[in-house]
A and B are shown apart, each in its own frame.
Chain A
Amino acid sequence: DQQVKQNSPSLSVQEGRISILNCDYTNSMFDYFLWYKKYPAEGPTFLISISSIKDKNEDGRFTVFLNKSAKHLSLHIVPSQPGDSAVYFCAASMDSNYQLIWGAGTKLIIKP
């Protein structure tokens, strides 16, 4: 049973436009969410996170929105740049639990 779902395996966006990556979760006990970015043959790198006490967190071009009632979060990238082409993973955890639960990832392709 997948507790964290990224239903879009891939997404193609024009350079300069907004990229929106979505993530849904089923476990209401999750209270911390993270986004990681991964290039081929490399390990993921941390991008941005959000605690369940917030509904929005912003860091430069990256904003994460959390809708707890819908058990949904999204990552917005504005404006999209060619270097943003990568696989983006959503992950979730419960307080004091070291185990992150990962989504399957969404491959983002930024078209010039």
Chain B
Amino acid sequence: DGGITQSPKYLFRKEGQNVTLSCEQNLNHDAMYWYRQDPGQGLRLIYYSQIVNDFQKGDIAEGYSVSREKKESFPLTVTSAQKNPTAFYLCASSTGTGSEKLFFGSGTQLSVL
């Protein structure tokens, strides 16, 4: 079954701690994305990558970092610089050919202890 796998489903962060959210896809998609969803708001783009070893900041990249060492993987690190990290994080992918149809993972709920 092709799809996007995010892990863990729930994650707790302590003060001053960096945490990494995993995102893996086996759809052979070139483009991958990280979004953040807060209650009552639309999805906001954190980072996106159109190709391996390349990525761009989205609207709310501050306090986050990413890497794209493999086509299948696009992990997101929430650093201690992100002062309000509690949110639902969604990873997505697309063919990257100008198609905006995104395929999403099931998300990670990050909370601060």
Interface residues of A, Cβ cutoff 8 Å to B? 2, 4, 9, 32, 34, 36, 41-46, 49, 89, 91, 93, 95-96, 98-105
By beta carbon, the residue of chain B nearest A32 is: B100
Report whether A43 and B92 are in contact in the complex, using a CB–CB cutoff of 8 Å: yes
When chains A and B are docked, how far (Å) is the Cα of A99 from the Cα of B50? 11
The number of A-B residue pairs with CB atoms under 8 Å apart is 64
Return the chain B residue nearest A6 by Cβ. Answer: B42
In the bound complex, do residue A99 and residue B105 qualify as a contact, i.e. CB atoms below 8 Å apart?
A: no
B59: A residues at CB distance < 8 A: 99
Q: B85: CB under 8 A from chain A?
A: no
Quick check: B100 and A34 within 8 Å, CB to CB?
yes
Among candidates B40, B41, B58, B107, residue contacting A42 with C-beta atoms closer than 8 Å? B107
A102 touches B42 (CB 8 A): yes
B residues apposed to A, CB below 8 Å: 4, 6, 9, 31, 33, 40-45, 48, 50, 58-59, 90-92, 94, 96, 98, 100-107, 109
Q: How far is the CB of B42 from chain A (nearest CB, A)?
A: 3
Given A43-B104, A98-B100, A104-B42, 19 other A-B residues pairs in contact with their CB atoms under 8 A: A4-B42, A34-B100, A36-B102, A41-B9, A41-B109, A42-B106, A43-B91, A43-B92, A43-B105, A43-B106, A44-B90, A91-B42, A98-B48, A98-B94, A99-B45, A100-B43, A100-B45, A100-B100, A101-B42
